[in-house]
């Protein structure tokens, strides 16, 4: 079985790359497990920061719908909650480079990260309500990022929004012209490389205190609610229809 996530540590940066283009970097059991393992290894390395990026057309398309349609999403929901906590509590800043669209559960990675730089062409969408679901497990990291009105709009309408709006509502740090993405990310990483590891670690603890407390307080309930929704007749019917159209 080929690896879906790769880790390379060089020049003070631990780069974690999602490489599952065949299913648009969906949050399959394998990808989430490998991503967690790579993040743990990155956090144990001597790098100053962790960069999460992707190859292929899409950064992350959300849940693996084929796995979801087969049932048994309880474990998957808990692991995505744990993944968000792992990102938020890493001792190093986690930077995300977005060159492709992000959908549904993939936004949990964005919500938990410390700095997110996106190309202006990138789009986002919380599609859960259209499948009889709710953005339950990723709400633990997303709601603190959004204003209340923005959260209601984006969670309920499931409309697509662009990187400029994502920056305005607080989901990402900033949007940059597509041709400037690599340069902008490199500049952020260079700045982080100048910082002392203790300074980065302790500053991140302060910044993410409330986010981690929210994940700990609500993560288990949101995972249980998500599993119930995925197992519902309404969601199963909607997912079956979705997969049929995709085929």
Which residues are marked as active site?
128
Pairing mode of beta strands 161-162, 115-119: unpaired
- For residue 63, give the 3-state DSSP assignment: strand
- For residue 49, give the 3-state DSSP assignment: strand
What are the DSSP calls for 210-229, one per residue?
HHHHHHHHHHHHHHHHHHHH
Q: Give the residue from 192, 207, 206, 203 showing the smallest Cα distance to 47.
A: 192
Q: How many CB atoms lie within 10 A of CB 110?
A: 25
Q: Which residue has the tokens 């349609």?
A: 69
Q: Which secondary-structure segment (H or E) carries 75?
A: helix 73-89
Q: Is 213 exposed, middle or buried (0-12, 13-18, 19+ CB in 10 A)?
A: exposed
């Amino acid at each position: 079985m080929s690896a879906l996530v790769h880790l390379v540590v060089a020049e003070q940066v631990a780069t974690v790359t999602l490489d599952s283009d065949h299913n648009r970097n969906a949050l399959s059991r394998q990808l989430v497990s490998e991503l967690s393992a790579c993040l743990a290894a990155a956090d144990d390395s001597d790098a100053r920061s962790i960069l999460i990026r992707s190859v292929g057309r899409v950064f992350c398309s959300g849940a693996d719908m084929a796995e979801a349609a087969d049932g048994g999403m309880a474990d998957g929901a808990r692991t995505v909650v744990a993944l968000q906590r792992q990102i938020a509590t890493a001792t190093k800043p986690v930077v995300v480079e977005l060159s492709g669209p992000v959908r549904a559960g993939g936004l949990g990675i964005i919500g938990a990260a410390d700095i997110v730089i996106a190309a202006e062409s990138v789009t986002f969408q919380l599609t859960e309500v259209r499948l009889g679901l709710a953005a339950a497990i990723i709400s633990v990291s997303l709601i603190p990022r959004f204003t209340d009105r923005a959260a209601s709009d984006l969670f309920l309408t499931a409309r697509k929004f662009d990187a400029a709006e994502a920056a305005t509502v607080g989901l990402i740090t900033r949007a940059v012209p597509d041709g400037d993405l690599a340069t902008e990310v490199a500049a952020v990483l260079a700045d982080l490389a100048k910082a002392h590891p203790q300074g980065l670690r302790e500053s991140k603890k302060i910044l993410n205190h409330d986010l981690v407390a929210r994940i700990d307080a609500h993560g288990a309930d949101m995972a249980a609610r998500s599993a119930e929704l995925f197992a519902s007749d309404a969601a199963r019917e909607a997912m079956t229809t979705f997969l049929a159209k995709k085929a």
